[in-house]
A and B are shown apart, each in its own frame.
Chain A
Amino acid sequence: MELLRKDPLREFAPQLERTSIQGYLWIVFLLAVIGLGIYAFFSQVFYGHEVTGMRDNVVWGVYIVNFIFFMGISYAGALISGTLHLFKTAWRKPIIRMAEFITIIALLIGPCFILLCIGRLDKLHYLVIFGRIQSPITWDVIAISTDIFGCFIFLYLSVLRDLAKLRDYELLQLPNWRKKLYKLLALGYTGTPEQKQRLNRASDIMAAMVIAIAIIVYSVLAWIFSVTLQPGWHSTIFGPYFVIAAVYSGSAVLILCMWLFRRIYHLEEYITKKHFVAVGVIMLVLAAFFGYFTFSDYLTKWYGSEKNDEMLIQLLFKEFYWPFIISNYIGVLLPLIVVGIAKFRTITNITITAVVVIIALWLNRYIIVVPTLESPYLPIQDSRPEWLNYTATWVEWSLTAAGVAVFALLFTLASKFITIVPVSGLHGEEQNEEAIV
């Protein structure tokens, strides 16, 4: 035990060295789901967007919902790890890398979904060649690419010490190319006081930057909706509302990842109930904010009852009744009850709550996007049912599943490349790092 405490890498090495049969099966399963998604993508390319459920009224559907959703969970790392880093929170160490992985992986998947909405992917480069700064989509392109870049640097800085450790750890039974890769990526970091100081400083700056960029990215995303005049979208609260919803969903995904990796890699020693409660409390606070913003938004729409807002709210309480209840009632109240009341506060309960929150927030985005498009200023008058009401097709669902599968796959592969729990500084060996107890 004493030995382990001195070198946690020894304990985590098997994670990197070996993949179990279940592990391989899992990867094959994910690849199969991704394969289905690729098939769906090609049928969309060959047969046109007609294979989706989107039509002239509901021009954006599940793809945009997924886009907002993945961009939202990418917030987990950005804001949570950034903030925890800046406040030097003692317990953050074992979970911070997961948060950063969530950020960067979700950030790579999210924009793919917006690409699926685009009718002419062959002209995608026009966004750069003919980009107009007046368009919120251009703001989005700039913001997201900056975010990916910033988050990548932040993640890289935080894994640098571990890469150096992996390079120096001779007992590691890995193919040569991987050892060489670690050496290359470690950038000659040896832990001299000067290097440490520079690294800490850079990490601090990037943590602050990443928080700011993430807020901008998510606000810009919200403005894509709120700059239009559509009832339900044209709202001043959308910027902060989206930001809060994003961190909220991110905290829930983080809890789910903690639970999964704790079980798969037997991290019970490192990720304890304390961590679940701590992130659970973050989730609780965000739930309260989210509930407040949601209430505030719908109250003003309902109370003034402008004709089109009224129609929208009627639609929400009729056609979208259950999604509305799950996302805006259960999704808000459940964390308050489960985390708020001490006796409910178990690891399992918190994880179940997190899963409900993830579903609730996906539905929340759905009932932001679809009902508004189904209730435009001029009533939709059409005889074709698919033009009146949006229903996602197998193509959209397959690609959604593929998105989740890519997320899981990249997460699995990342955890095979770098330990899911940071090994450097875990036990206070680094001067500037706090140890977990």
Chain B
Amino acid sequence: MTVEDEFNKDQKNSRRQFLKKGLIAGAGVAAGGGLIAAFVDATATETGEKVKVLTTEGEIMEVDRGLLKLPRVSTEESHKGIPGRKFVMVIDLGKCKNARKCVEACQKGHHLPKSQEFIKVYLLQDSEKTSPYWFPKPCFHCDNPLCVSVCPVGATYKRTDGIVLIDNERCIGCKFCMTGCPYSTRVFAWKHYPEFDEDKEPYSPEASSPGKEGTVSKCDFCPDLIRVGKIPYCASACPMGVIYFGDVDEDTVTNGTETFQFSKLISDRAGYRYLETLGTRPCVYYLPPVERQFEVERGFADMDQEIIDRYKDTPYSKKNKP
């Protein structure tokens, strides 16, 4: 039983539609036993780059990345989590220079307006004498998530694979989860943003898209990408390879180019979780900002004034940018 089997059930409808349109090449159906249709967007163009996908029969087959369509599982399916997995993220603060590619890729991938950021980059300084550093902050997908506890309608939930998702069709928009989250992770759709309309696919909590006015959303660890064997948008977009994504049980994390043993990385590099004292038990670990590759100032290079202004109240900017 594979992960792909799980969502294949829910993809039946879209596959049927897809087949009806007769857009798929016969070869694909023959080779992949039909499942491939769930992944392939025949309206897209080929890029030449191949991606491995697991079929219903357990066979690995290659699909062109450009043709790859991300699976959109049903809401019911999205509650279950990917069997046998427990996801984790490691962020290396020593490498972050506020390039903001993670933010942009995430917004593009989730069809978000500029005012909604699932991952934010903070300029933190723990105390006066300590050094400032750039701090990318996704959702921590806590193992003891207060947001999930306080939700009155069960619109946000913790899955077996550790991911905390939001079903915006269930969400009533009371925003209690936003006050419950001590990390200011959640965002609210204060109106209907035009970006929501870019996404023509049916809604799935795993895709967190299309967004819906009056509901809460947040970083989702991109389970739709995980299902096709990719790492989240932020992790693959980062030019510095700051963000590692992986599995605690497999004890592996990768940023797409480097792969590490998670436990060893955390132990060697003194990994920690942000605000451990709150007892929320995050699934995101940070590696302390040591052996920096860049000056903090590099984070301001070539940035829009709007971005620079965001940090004007930080102790660093007050001191260095009179």
Q: Which residues of A contact B (CB under 8 A)?
A: 47-50, 54-57, 59-60, 117-120, 123-124, 126-127, 130-132, 134-138, 141, 224-225, 227-230, 233, 373, 376-383, 388
Contacts and interface: CB of A to CB of B under 8 A. Distances in A.
A383 B214 contact: no
B146 A57 contact: no
B213 interface: yes
Given A126-B172, A130-B155, 18 more contacts: A49-B191, A56-B186, A59-B175, A59-B179, A119-B172, A119-B173, A119-B214, A123-B153, A126-B170, A130-B170, A132-B152, A135-B149, A228-B150, A373-B179, A377-B183, A381-B120, A381-B313, A388-B313
B190 A379 contact: no
8 contacts: A47-B191, A56-B184, A56-B186, A120-B172, A130-B154, A229-B180, A378-B137, A381-B313
Contacts of B214: 48-49, 118-120
Nearest to A381: B310
A408 B210 CA distance: 44
Given A56-B188, A118-B173, A127-B172, A377 B153 contact: no
Interface string B288-303: 0000000000000000
Given A48-B192, A383-B306, A135 B173 contact: no
Contacts, number: 137
Contacts of B212: 120
Given A132-B154, A229-B146, A229-B278, A119 B179 contact: no
B123 interface: yes
B314 interface: yes
Interface in B153-197: 153-155, 170-176, 178-180, 182-184, 186-192
A48 B196 CA distance: 15
A391 to B, nearest CB: 15
B311 interface: yes
The 9 closest A-B pairs by CB, nearest first: A119-B173, A119-B214, A48-B191, A383-B309, A137-B152, A135-B152, A50-B190, A59-B175, A50-B191
Given A49-B188, A49-B191, A227-B150, A117 B175 contact: yes
Contact of B182 (A119, A120, A230): A230
Contacts of A138: 152
Contacts of B107: none
Given A119-B189, A228-B179, A381 B123 contact: yes
A119 B174 contact: yes
A393 B246 CA distance: 45
B75 to A, nearest CB: 12
Contacts of B191: 47-50
A228 B190 CA distance: 23
The winner among B152, B190, B311, B312 for most chain A CB atoms within 10 A is B152
A59 B172 contact: no
Given A120-B215, A123-B172, A379 B314 contact: yes
Contacts of B172: 118-120, 123-124, 126-127
B183 A59 contact: no
Contacts of A136: 150, 176
Contacts of A54: 190
Interface in B67-105: none
A314 to B, nearest CB: 13
Nearest to B147: A228
Contacts of A229: 146, 180, 182, 278, 280
A67 to B, nearest CB: 12
Nearest to A307: B127
B47 to A, nearest CB: 36
Nearest to A384: B115
Interface of B: 120, 122-124, 137, 146, 149-155, 170-176, 178-180, 182-184, 186-192, 212-216, 275, 278, 280, 306-307, 309-314
A135 B156 CA distance: 12
Nearest to A136: B150
A377 B274 CA distance: 11
B78 to A, nearest CB: 16
Nearest to B174: A118
Contacts of A376: 182, 184
A48 B176 contact: no
A227 B151 CA distance: 12
A364 to B, nearest CB: 19
A56 B179 CA distance: 10
B151 A135 contact: yes
A56 B149 contact: no
Contact of B122 (A123, A132, A137, A379): A379
Contacts of A132: 151-154
Contacts of A50: 190-191
Given A49-B190, A56-B188, A377 B314 contact: no
B122 A60 contact: no
Contacts of B170: 123, 126, 130
Given A118-B172, A118-B173, A381 B179 contact: no
Contact of B176 (A55, A124, A224): A224
B192 A56 contact: no
Contacts of B186: 56
A48 B212 CA distance: 11
Nearest to B120: A381
A126 B179 contact: no
Contacts of A118: 172-174, 214
A380 B314 CA distance: 10
Contacts of B137: 378
A126 B309 CA distance: 41
A288 to B, nearest CB: 31
A319 B320 CA distance: 25
A357 B309 CA distance: 41
Contacts of B124: 378-379
Contacts of A48: 189-192, 213-214
B183 A378 contact: yes
Contacts of B306: 383
Contacts of A130: 153-155, 170
A215 B152 CA distance: 22
Nearest to A130: B153
Contacts of B311: 381
A378 B122 contact: yes
B171 A377 contact: no
Contacts of A134: 149-150
A118 B213 CA distance: 11
Contacts of B123: 381
A227 B146 CA distance: 9
A128 to B, nearest CB: 9
